Chain A
């Protein structure tokens, strides 16, 4: 169903591929990872070869094995931190946006949530995360907690803004007029129309979180490299200082490329999801299942490019509207 947009399809396949690889590495590392993280392989600074796809470093560790071993950790952290922020920020944003009648308990709660959010947003999140990590003590879990603490306010802002724009739309009033209760309006009518930008943002955000985590690791406030749990950021930091980049570029290129590919994959997927989740553009992507247009179709369907894909997509032609 993503076929209409080649880039989104590419992103989707790439994310699927990355996730499968990450799962494989996590469950059965020996399938894809020939060496251990701190296993000496013999040659030092060996250039990329079939035996060592990303070469070896000054301690003769296999760079490819370390990059692969870091994948489940980095990906898992990205999804976990963004996911925790999504849940915390999403719930607070829904409450703050929907129950905001001034002068009531709910109204004051809403105001409190927003002021706390503002306070968190007034700090640069990276610096704040660094400080929190320092206080909590350096460990992977603590870094994840620190980033989550600085990360959820963005979701509150996003969700609250969406809720505010949706809750005054006529269809919410119409649902209210039909006798739907407030809680059900929030959970069924409002949430459903907020989900789409939220999921898109979440998908894009996984990459951002990954970069942030790598940055913290790069600065050195996370796991040590070389060590039992390799991580792309700390790998970059270590290889940048251990040997001249110009002589052994594969050392920094390998973890750098890993970050780049993962982030780009989620960005492309996010763009594709935007098109799929929006009912107004979704029809263009769903092939075969779309019912025939009604008899009065010419007047019933809005004019413009949206009407075209229904008839065009079965032929495999690219979507004229969604490609941009």
Chain B
């Protein structure tokens, strides 16, 4: 068993807005191993994006507060890292793709400068000119070509055209033309036609899909060991969506990165992720291997969510919906947060929060990668209509 890239334990994030406190993320635990794609799915406002930004500590603090929990990234608790040192973790350690393609590129910079900045950061860290760390108190030694020498396959050919990977690491950015060549390679990597032209354009001259791909190129160009993708495909049409997903999967094979994939699209998650966590009102209510969770959901919310997905619509009568609305997270319901909308709810659901426990009672309760559900009546879920 390899060491996990990141282990999130009982993470809680609250927002203090005026006099109110919003419990955006409550007691979320996750473990992501190298090469894994973990999907997080849930409705708007369930805390997905907050969770995504809380891991690299990108939430503005205040108003956000990490109330409790730990985020262990390569042996270091990021919750305790000082703000000064956080930039060293980001980019090359934890990369991120955002969901707003319109505003996530600096309008004042050409595409070249946007991507070149990321490549420079990685390069400077590789060369030891910029401090960086990948965990612990030890600065991460990028000069040991942990990534570049292990590469094989299409992606490395795209990134290092000469093939002489190790030499290239040190000489690659010696001149501007080499930097330009590397930027071009990343643009080709995200399937941008005519990259030489795109290189000199400003973000406002690009379509939403192109901007999204530029952003993905930026994140990939830092070769992060954990890539957090916050709805990276929601602005793209289906064909490009598929390309982007393929691309991200290639990245995993290539650099053995782990991906945390946030989406509200069950189809995208089913296609991309190895394991999925279903979030509701700030909590993970069900977790497990994608196929198991989607074939045999053991939480009433997952069941209803799957039923409401248009892909399941059989053409008989109205599309099914989940009655009620997402609860106000400043006053979350007591006990199980889904109980006001749940047909299985009984007294115990109102009083106590159900733990995220294995569906299979014989399974070891400690394992984080088996099918688990936070419902007291998980055996009854399959019988729901």
Contacts and interface: CB of A to CB of B under 8 A. Distances in A.
- Pair from one complex: yes
Interface of A: 101-102, 168-171, 173-182, 189, 192-193, 279-280, 283, 291-296, 299-302, 306
B288 interface: no
A179 B104 contact: no
A306 B207 CA distance: 14
Contacts of A300: 205-207, 210
Nearest to B108: A192
Interface in B109-154: 109, 117-118, 121, 125, 132
Contact of B62 (A102, A292, A294): A102
Contacts of A189: 106
B215 to A, nearest CB: 7
A280 B102 CA distance: 13
8 contacts: A171-B103, A173-B98, A174-B218, A178-B91, A279-B107, A279-B108, A294-B193, A296-B193
B105 A174 contact: yes
Contacts of B215: 174
B375 to A, nearest CB: 35
A171 B108 CA distance: 11
A193 B107 contact: yes
Contacts, number: 105
A111 B117 CA distance: 33
A181 B118 CA distance: 12
Q: Determine the main DSSP class of B at the interface with A.
A: loop
A170 B103 CA distance: 6
B90 to A, nearest CB: 4
Given A177-B58, A180-B117, A279-B204, A292 B197 contact: yes
Contacts of A170: 98, 100, 103-104
Contacts of A171: 103-107
B117 A178 contact: yes
A179 B94 CA distance: 9
Given A171-B104, A280-B204, A180 B87 contact: yes
B95 interface: yes
A192 to B, nearest CB: 5
B260 interface: no
A189 B56 CA distance: 20
Given A171-B107, A173-B98, A176-B90, A299 B201 contact: no
B204 A179 contact: no
A176 B58 contact: yes
B197 A291 contact: yes
A255 B206 CA distance: 51
Interface centre among B58, B106, B201, B215 (most CB of A within 10 A): B106
A137 B106 CA distance: 49
Contacts of A179: 87-93, 121, 125, 132, 222
Nearest to A102: B62
B293 interface: no
Contacts of B64: none
A279 B105 CA distance: 13
Contacts of A279: 107-108, 202, 204
- The 10 A-B pairs with the shortest beta carbon distances in the complex, nearest first, are A179-B91, A177-B96, A179-B90, A170-B103, A170-B104, A171-B106, A174-B104, A178-B91, A192-B108, A181-B87
